[in-house]
Structure 1
């Protein structure tokens, strides 16, 4: 499991890089929502990096908290496409959380890998 945890966190770093310019062209509050989304993922990656791989319940809790934050950001978004993308990602994070709690990060890995394209597209 340790290898998969490291790989997932490396993917988390890619999320942050892909979201670095998000919201630059969006209307309404898109720029702020995209910036807040990036911050939420940054905080998540920082939080889970401090959790030992042998304690997956803490990963589950952090993943569920991130899903809640992303869902809250979806509700704040003025742009319908951005709101929808964030809701989808929040749902995917929630779906991945139980597996993470059991030590299986495969679904989380998938979410983290695909998030930059989904949210980045909505933020541009």
Structure 2
């Protein structure tokens, strides 16, 4: 069931692909991505917070890119993958590090497809990210 936040977020999107991606990323905050990050050891709380910010900034960025310009989507997704990879390198917790590295690889793979106009893989990655990263941040 979609939350009120998701419905409002989706209503603000201009393009169908962006709407699907934004719904998934919005869930980063709603699904409890940072639910128990403070309880993790080392710098995991900060890495989880920075990861959430990275995805939120990505969505803000791609909202301004026309759907008819997939190359720009691919570039933005590559930058997000690099940022997530950088966060993985900073993570002290092995589980969080592994989860972020996996997401970075998934984003890089999706970036190649979205750059040619196929957003299906990117949509799947974005929709799965809250559960994958959220699990590591709990």
TM tier, smaller? over 0.9
Encode CA deviations 1:3-32: one digit per residue, 9 max, x unaligned.
Answer: 233212222212232324351321100000
Counterpart in the other structure of 1:100: 114
Counterpart in the other structure of 1:85: 99
Counterpart in the other structure of 1:15: 28
SS class of match (2:39): coil
Alpha-carbon distance in 1 for matches of 2:125, 2:137: 17
- Correspondences of 1:1-124 after superposition (within 5 Å): 2-18=15-31, 19-21=33-35, 23-124=37-138
CA pair 22-113 structure 1, distance change in 2 beyond 3 A? farther
Aligned Cα root-mean-square deviation (Å):
1.2
Following superposition, the deviation at residue 109 of structure 1 comes to: 0.6
Conserved 8 A contact 1:28-1:78: yes
User: 5+ unaligned residues in a row in structure 1: which ranges?
Assistant: none
TM-score normalized by structure 2? 0.84
TM-score normalized by structure 1? 0.93
- Please identify runs of 4+ aligned residues in structure 1 that moved more than 4 A: none
Alpha-carbon distance in 2 for matches of 1:25, 1:51: 37
Based on CA coordinates, which of the two structures has the bigger radius of gyration? 2
User: 5+ unaligned residues in a row in structure 2: which ranges?
Assistant: 1-14
